[in-house]
């Protein structure tokens, strides 16, 4: 992209502990960023008044002005600056205030993992650059619209040229929005991995649950939007446990009682509270809330039963339990895969929806589809088809990522793009055959 700023990104670190600032400066010194530090919220505000910053990372606990108040001030005066909270304690209420009042991009707990924090900053700055370019294109489109209104009817040639420019700008916006969505999912996957770092036996757990949930959702005929919401909910279904102690995380559910069990049963509610401020995640937040509901009505937190439980939550309940039986989260003893399946089967009509169990059995027992692919032209595409390879334009720009499920609107955009750019692309689509 020609107009993205080439100068180094500017990052401001705000913390009242000089050793923390020194550690952050050392960590990012060789990353190619312009780094500045401030030892208080007031000093941070002065730094922002002196020059613009792309990203601000602020400590939560600071005298006089804490991280929530400081980031709220940054959001009010510098809304385009990415805001990240650095906190050394698991205070869900304070984190929620930072999300609601400061509209933070992410939060990081102390002590941090160097690789995770550098990757998080990299993704945040990439997203910031994409949003800045999107705003530039929108401003350009608005400017060109205003110019079109002022053109004289006799200047047909000039009108035609401006129309072509608007079409190119609109196509760039469509492509940019697609890349932002891909970046959003990537960020969720990274955040999911960070959550699992506190559980020694949970590495990759959420991705496995998400993959199984997506397969079952597709087997049950859910549309692309509903399938995506289930997938995202599965990636984030354990976010409500971020405030749990290490002892509670290590305790199997069947060993819990009293306060421990009550705290565990509330983690879906905490997850919903954390995610609801993000409009794009509200559907997934509702699924996560109901993940401990039982088909027979004996679950938590609302005691819903049967088909009153969201379909995505019924899918997530089975997928997460299947892997939790194997990693020792639910029972003191880790079960083998076939033992976990037996427990699922015994829970039909009690914990699990019989239709979901049927989809699970089809996915796990070999009645699955054998993935093959076929190269198609855009006019052959149909809603519901799944792309098996990344679709790359001739200039190297990513149009679609692998595993993307096509819908009617997206197919129209693909065909409009080919017509405007005078190109023909090949789209590799999954062909499912029964084994």
What's the pLDDT tens digit per position in 247-265?
898 899 999 998 999 999 9
pLDDT band at 370 (very low <50, low <70, confident <90, very high): very low
Check residue 367 and give its pLDDT. Answer: 44
User: Tokens 């999954």 identify what position?
Assistant: 430
Looking at 5-14, 191-200, 228-237, 372-381, which range is the least confident one?
191-200
Q: What value does the mean pLDDT take over residues 59-82? A: 89
pLDDT band at 350 (very low <50, low <70, confident <90, very high): very high
Check residue 21 and give its pLDDT. Answer: 93
- With a CB cutoff of 8 Å and minimum separation 6, the contacts of 47 are 12, 36, 38, 53
Q: How far apart are CA 362 and CA 216, in angstroms?
A: 9
Check residue 109 and give its pLDDT. Answer: 83
Residue 288: name the closest of 335, 349, 345, 242 by CA: 242
Q: Are the C-beta atoms of residues 222 and 287 closer than 8 Å to each other? A: no
pLDDT band at 375 (very low <50, low <70, confident <90, very high): confident
**pTM (2 d.p.):** 0.47
Check residue 369 and give its pLDDT. Answer: 44
Measured over the CA atoms of residue 153, residue 155, residue 157 and residue 159, the dihedral's sign is: negative
Looking at 5-14, 133-142, 281-290, 389-398, which range is the least confident one?
389-398
Tell me the CB-side half-sphere exposure of residue 159, using CA atoms within 13 A: 9
Query: Which has the higher per-residue pLDDT, 38 or 152?
Result: 38
Looking at 148-157, 235-244, 328-337, 408-417, which range is the least confident one?
148-157
Query: Which has the higher per-residue pLDDT, 146 or 356?
Result: 356
Which run of H or E residues covers position 418?
helix 408-421
Q: How far apart are CA 71 and CA 79, in angstroms?
A: 10
Find the angle CA(397)-CA(82)-CA(25) to the nearest 5 degrees.
100
Residue 279 pLDDT more than 80? yes
Check residue 218 and give its pLDDT. Answer: 93
Query: Which has the higher per-residue pLDDT, 187 or 387?
Result: 387
SS3 369: strand
% of the chain surpassing 90 pLDDT: 43
Looking at 198-212, 231-245, 249-263, 338-352, which range is the least confident one?
198-212
**Quick count: other Cβ atoms within 10 Å of Cβ 239?**
20
Q: Give per-residue burial for 194-220: e unless 16+ CB within 10 Å, then b.
A: bbbebbeebeebbebbbebbbbbbbbb
Check residue 184 and give its pLDDT. Answer: 60
Query: Which has the higher per-residue pLDDT, 101 or 2?
Result: 101
Find the angle CA(344)-CA(349)-CA(353) to the nearest 5 degrees.
75
Check residue 202 and give its pLDDT. Answer: 63
Looking at 64-73, 159-168, 278-287, which range is the least confident one?
159-168
pLDDT band at 161 (very low <50, low <70, confident <90, very high): confident
**Quick count: other Cβ atoms within 10 Å of Cβ 42?**
15
Which run of H or E residues covers position 173?
helix 156-196
> DSSP code of 353?
-
Check residue 2 and give its pLDDT. Answer: 47
Mean pLDDT (the chain) is 83
Query: Which has the higher per-residue pLDDT, 149 or 318?
Result: 318
For residue range 6-61, list pLDDT tens digits in order: 688 999 999 999 999 999 999 998 888 999 999 999 999 999 999 999 999 998 88
Helices marked H in 29-91 — which ranges?
Answer: 41-50, 67-77
Tell me the CB-side half-sphere exposure of residue 363, using CA atoms within 13 A: 21
For residue range 179-214, list pLDDT tens digits in order: 445 556 555 655 555 566 655 556 678 878 988 999
Residue 177 pLDDT more than 70? no
Q: How far apart are CA 209 and CA 236, in angstroms?
A: 10
Check residue 396 and give its pLDDT. Answer: 44
> DSSP code of 9?
P
Helices marked H in 197-299 — which ranges?
Answer: 205-219, 224-235, 246-249, 258-265, 267-275, 282-289
């Amino acid at each position: 992209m020609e107009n993205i700023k080439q100068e180094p990104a500017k990052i401001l670190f705000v913390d009242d502990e000089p050793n923390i600032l020194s550690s952050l400066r050392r960590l990012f010194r060789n990353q190619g960023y312009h780094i500045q530090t401030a030892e208080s919220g007031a000093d941070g505000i002065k730094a922002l008044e002196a020059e613009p910053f792309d990203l601000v990372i602020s400590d939560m606990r600071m005298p006089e002005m804490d991280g929530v108040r400081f980031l709220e001030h940054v959001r009010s005066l510098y809304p385009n600056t990415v805001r990240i909270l650095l906190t050394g304690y698991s205070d869900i209420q304070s984190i929620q205030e930072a999300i609601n009042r400061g509209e933070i991009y992410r939060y990081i707990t102390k002590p941090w993992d160097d690789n995770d924090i550098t990757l998080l900053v990299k993704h945040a700055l990439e997203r910031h650059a994409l949003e800045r370019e999107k705003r530039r294109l929108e401003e350009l489109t608005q400017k060109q619209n205003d110019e079109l209104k002022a053109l004289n009817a006799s200047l047909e040639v000039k009108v035609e040229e401006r129309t072509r420019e608007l079409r190119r700008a609109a196509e760039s916006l469509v492509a940019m929005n697609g890349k932002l969505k891909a970046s959003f999912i990537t960020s969720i996957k990274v955040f999911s991995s960070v959550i699992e770092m506190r559980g020694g036996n949970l590495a990759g757990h959420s991705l496995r649950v998400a993959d199984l949930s997506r397969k079952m959702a597709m087997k049950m005929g859910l549309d692309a939007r509903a399938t995506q919401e289930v997938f995202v909910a599965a990636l984030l279904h354990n976010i409500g446990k971020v405030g749990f102690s290490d002892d509670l995380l290590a305790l199997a559910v069947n060993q819990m009682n009293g306060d421990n069990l009550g705290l565990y049963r509330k983690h879906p509610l905490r997850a919903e509270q954390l995610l609801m401020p993000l409009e794009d995640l509200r559907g997934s937040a509702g699924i996560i809330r109901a993940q401990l509901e039982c088909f027979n009505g004996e679950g938590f937190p609302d005691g819903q039963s049967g088909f009153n439980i969201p379909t995505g939550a019924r899918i997530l309940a089975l997928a997460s339990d299947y892997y939790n039986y194997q990693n020792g989260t639910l029972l003191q003893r880790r079960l083998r895969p076939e033992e976990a399946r037996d427990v699922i089967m015994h829970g039909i009509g009690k914990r699990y929806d019989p239709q979901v169990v049927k989809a699970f059995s089809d996915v796990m027992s070999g009645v699955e589809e054998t993935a093959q692919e076929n190269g198609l032209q855009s006019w052959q595409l149909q809603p519901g088809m799944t792309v098996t390879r990344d679709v790359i334009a001739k200039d190297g720009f990513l149009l679609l990522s692998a595993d993307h499920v096509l819908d009617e609107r997206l197919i129209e955009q693909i065909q409009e793009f080919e017509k405007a750019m005078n190109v023909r692309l090949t789209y590799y689509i999954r062909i499912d055959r029964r084994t």
